[in-house]
């Protein structure tokens, strides 16, 4: 699923930059890594999984969702700057009634409870096991704007949730946000944009662009010049992590979302198998380089 080629027929590249987005072009030497291109996620695949339900429809009872059990802890770096972090180690508040997954900013709530917490300009992330997270922008009056089925639409928050629990996601990205009024305006001005006119590959990129205004979230928002300044550090355990490198934030987000969709256990198993194979290959290489090496026999 994660290695399919992105379908570009419905996309355009209207805003390709001509300079480094930060205004700084530091030559840090070559980086080793791969930039991945994946298929669209929540705007297509998620709907295929639940095609019998539309916005406002009835939904079956979902299994209990535990963020600490299902979600992947990770950090995102642009060169040496941490620009995104999801860590349960920062959860230092007690859970409130009706919460799941502990307290703090990663707690999840029912859509009805979220309505009492949201303010215009907030980002909301709806989560569910084995599905891509779905991000929306709260614009007030119980309504949100979000990328849904390859179109930017205005919906009621409870309808956009499709029965999933959610959280206010303002603290995940560490960019400086725009004012709430500008965030709401950014979102509302895009309502009705669809298909070939879209500049975002998924709901997260759209919502984050509305709040932070950075072109890195848009399709083709960064030049691909060989460098890989973005790093996705995935936490595998208390003292283990694995880092992947990407040319663009857009590609990194697609991989991060794929990890959320397959779940923490699958990610750890996938990476552990990869690391084990890499270690075995290194050992074989060392044996070839040291012909005098012998295998102990008991």
pLDDT tens profile 32-53: 334 333 445 555 444 444 433 4
Polymer length in residues for the chain: 298
Question: Is residue 199 packed enough to be buried (19+ CB in 10 Å), middle (13-18) or exposed (0-12)?
Answer: buried
Higher pLDDT, 294 or 76: 76
Is the confidence at residue 57, as pLDDT, over 90? Answer: no
3-class secondary structure, 233:
strand
Domain of residue 185: give its range: 48-288
| pTM of the complete model | 0.75
Domains held by the chain: number: 1
Q: Give the pLDDT confidence score for residue 61 in this predicted structure.
A: 45
Model confidence band, residue 64 (pLDDT cutoffs 50, 70, 90): confident
Higher pLDDT, 214 or 31: 214
In a domain, 146, yes or no: yes
In a domain, 298, yes or no: no
Percentage of the chain beyond pLDDT 70 is 66
Percentage of the chain beyond pLDDT 90 is 57
In a domain, 232, yes or no: yes
pLDDT tens profile 189-243: 999 999 999 999 999 999 999 999 999 999 999 887 778 999 999 998 878 899 9
CA distances from 86 to 3, 13, 67 (A): 24, 30, 11
In a domain, 16, yes or no: no
Q: Give the pLDDT confidence score for residue 40 in this predicted structure.
A: 54
In a domain, 13, yes or no: no
In a domain, 35, yes or no: no
Looking at every residue in the chain, the average pLDDT score rounds to 78
Alpha carbon distance 217, 215 (integer Å): 5
Assign residue 224 the CATH number of its domain.
3.90.1720.10
In a domain, 221, yes or no: yes
Q: Give the pLDDT confidence score for residue 281 in this predicted structure.
A: 62
Question: Is residue 277 packed enough to be buried (19+ CB in 10 Å), middle (13-18) or exposed (0-12)?
Answer: exposed
Alpha carbon distance 153, 159 (integer Å): 12
pLDDT tens profile 84-132: 999 988 654 444 444 444 457 899 999 999 999 999 999 999 999 999 9
Q: Give the pLDDT confidence score for residue 112 in this predicted structure.
A: 96
Q: Give the pLDDT confidence score for residue 145 in this predicted structure.
A: 98
In a domain, 229, yes or no: yes
Helix (H) or strand (E) holding 155: strand 152-156
């Amino acid at each position: 699923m994660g290695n399919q080629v992105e379908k570009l027929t419905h996309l355009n590249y209207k805003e390709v930059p001509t300079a480094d987005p930060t205004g700084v072009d530091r030559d840090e030497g070559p980086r080793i890594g791969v930039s991945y291109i994946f298929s669209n996620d929540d705007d297509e695949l998620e709907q295929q999984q639940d095609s019998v339900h539309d916005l406002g429809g009835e939904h079956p009872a979902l299994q209990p969702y535990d963020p600490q059990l299902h979600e992947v802890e990770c950090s995102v770096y642009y060169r040496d700057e941490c620009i995104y972090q999801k860590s349960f180690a920062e959860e230092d508040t007690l859970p409130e009634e009706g919460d799941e997954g502990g307290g703090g900013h990663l707690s999840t709530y029912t859509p009805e409870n979220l309505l009492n917490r949201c303010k215009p300009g907030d980002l909301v992330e709806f989560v569910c096991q084995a599905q891509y997270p779905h991000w929306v922008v709260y614009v007030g009056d119980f309504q949100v704007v979000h990328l849904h089925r390859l179109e930017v639409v205005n919906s009621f928050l409870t309808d956009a949730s499709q029965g999933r629990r959610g959280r206010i996601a303002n603290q995940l990205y560490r960019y400086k946000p725009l004012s709430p009024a500008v965030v709401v305006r950014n979102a509302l001005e895009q309502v009705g944009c669809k298909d070939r006119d879209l500049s975002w590959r998924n709901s997260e990129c759209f919502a984050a662009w509305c709040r932070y205004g950075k072109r890195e979230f848009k399709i083709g928002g960064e030049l691909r010049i060989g460098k890989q300044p973005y790093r996705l550090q995935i936490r595998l355990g208390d003292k283990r992590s694995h880092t992947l490198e990407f040319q663009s934030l857009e590609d990194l987000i697609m991989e991060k979302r794929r990890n959320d969709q397959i779940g923490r256990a699958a990610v750890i198993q996938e990476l552990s198998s990869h690391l084990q194979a890499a270690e075995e290959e290194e050992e074989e290489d060392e044996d070839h380089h040291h012909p005098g090496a012998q295998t102990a026999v008991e």
